[in-house]
């Protein structure tokens, strides 16, 4: 009897150990995937970087794969132009929505508003792109262009432009900015609010003078993550910005972005062109990793502050 129980225990402990090993394997799958992604993106792209010369590849202004010339500055500039314009539109709107949600709306209404913001995050990017193509692009051409012409008579645009892309991107990064900023604002300790009100500040002064400054790390992290989202966005941009790999001079110029170029050209690229696109992927990868690391650092600091 005793022997069989200990035997049973032995078998059971073997099974338990095996299960733990399997669970551990599942646990490291994501890590292994990140490693593989890094290896394959860098491995496939580095030959192109070496071919063109690292500096040439980064700051060359001529992207014309047909001639074997791979200068990515126009692409980086395109990505940055669209992203920064989107942030200019998205940051104030996002923070306003966050304040609205956490400080102004009543609980029930806030829940509805939150659901709406979540929906905004759920809409596929290709649908945003299509909406931009059908609605925003013509709107920029017919309504914004005449306004710009008032002081610059030579202005011209097809509507496929930085501005159109940025408008749609601003909407797309709103959910990120709103939900994280709202978290940050509502996790400011109640004493701050009470102290400010007790000192005679009104609600508006409390929000702008106490709550937003106290939540600034969280808000900053949300902005950085939103920026990462904007830089990585592909399908929406692809349909709206016109995909012309030239350094832009105005917000109404078309641009090609890092992501859009990869998506567009991958399907027909020759071998060396493909390598160059992987090298573009490396640039993108590094930018996103840096931004994520900064966002992590910022929100960690927030944890210490509170």
Partner 1 sequence: MIKNRLFYSVVWFLSILTLAVLLMIIGYIMYRGLTQISWEFLSEKPALMGKKGGIFPVIIGTLYVTGVALVIAAPIGIAAAVYFVEYSKEGRLVRIIRTFTEVLAGIPSIIIGLFGFAFFVVFLGFGWSVLSGGLSVSLMILPILIRSTEEALKTVPLSYREGSLSLGASKWETTYKIVLPCCKNGILTGLILSIGRVVGETAVIMLTVGGALKVPMSLFDSTRTMALHMYILAAEGISQERAFATAALLVLIILVINGLANIISARIGGAHGK
Segment 82 to 121, residues that bind partner 1, using CB under 8 A: 92-93, 96-97, 99-101, 104, 113, 115-120
Residue 57 engages partner 1 in binding (rule: CB under 8 A):
no
Contacts of the segment 250-253: beta carbons below 8 A, 24+ positions apart: 250/155, 250/162, 251/81, 251/85, 251/161, 251/162, 251/163, 251/166, 252/140, 252/144, 252/145, 252/148, 252/155, 252/156, 252/157, 252/161, 252/162, 252/163, 253/157, 253/161, 253/162
Smallest distance from the beta carbon of 278 to partner 1, in angstroms?
6
Candidates 231, 276, 298, 302: give the one binding partner 1 (CB under 8 A). Answer: 231
Rounded Cα distance, 230 and 51, in Å: 30
Residue 129 engages partner 1 in binding (rule: CB under 8 A):
yes
Site string for partner 1, 161-180 (x = CB under 8 A): ----------x--x---x--
Nearer to partner 1, 4 or 29 (CB): 29
Residue 67 engages partner 1 in binding (rule: CB under 8 A):
no
Which residues in 13-42 contact partner 1 (CB under 8 A)?
15-16, 19-20, 22-24, 26-31, 33-34, 36-37, 40-41
Smallest distance from the beta carbon of 77 to partner 1, in angstroms?
18
| Strand ranges in 52-185 using DSSP code E only, listed in sequence order | 63-64, 69-70
Residue 279 engages partner 1 in binding (rule: CB under 8 A):
no
For 63, list phi and psi in degrees, rounded to 5.
-105, 95
């Amino acid at each position: 009897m005793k022997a069989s129980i200990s035997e049973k225990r032995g078998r059971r402990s073997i099974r338990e150990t095996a299960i733990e090993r399997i669970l551990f394997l599942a646990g490291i799958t994501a890590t292994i995937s990140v490693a593989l992604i890094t290896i394959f993106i860098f491995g496939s792209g580095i030959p192109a970087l070496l071919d063109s010369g690292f500096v040439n590849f980064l700051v060359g202004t001529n992207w014309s794969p047909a001639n074997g010339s791979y200068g990515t500055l126009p692409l980086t500039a395109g990505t940055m132009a669209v992203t920064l314009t989107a942030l200019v539109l998205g940051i104030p709107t996002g923070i306003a929505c966050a304040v609205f949600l956490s400080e102004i709306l009543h609980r029930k209404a806030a829940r509805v508003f939150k659901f709406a913001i979540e929906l905004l995050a759920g809409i596929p990017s290709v649908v945003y792109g299509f909406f931009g193509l059908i609605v925003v692009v013509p709107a920029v051409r017919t309504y914004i262009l005449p306004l710009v012409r008032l002081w610059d008579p030579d202005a011209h645009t097809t509507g496929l432009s930085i501005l159109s892309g940025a408008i749609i991107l601003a909407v797309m990064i709103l959910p990120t900015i709103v939900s994280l900023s709202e978290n940050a604002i509502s996790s400011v300790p109640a004493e701050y609010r009470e102290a400010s009100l007790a000192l005679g500040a009104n609600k508006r002064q409390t929000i702008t003078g106490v709550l937003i400054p106290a939540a600034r790390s969280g808000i900053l992290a949300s902005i950085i993550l939103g920026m990462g989202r904007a830089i990585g966005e592909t399908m929406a941009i692809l349909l709206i910005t016109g995909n012309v790999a030239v350094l832009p001079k105005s917000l109404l110029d078309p641009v090609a972005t890092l992501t859009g170029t990869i998506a567009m050209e991958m399907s027909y690229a020759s071998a060396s062109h493909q390598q160059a696109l992987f090298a573009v992927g490396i640039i993108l990868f590094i930018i996103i990793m840096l931004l994520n690391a900064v966002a992590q650092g910022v929100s960690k600091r927030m944890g210490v502050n509170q």
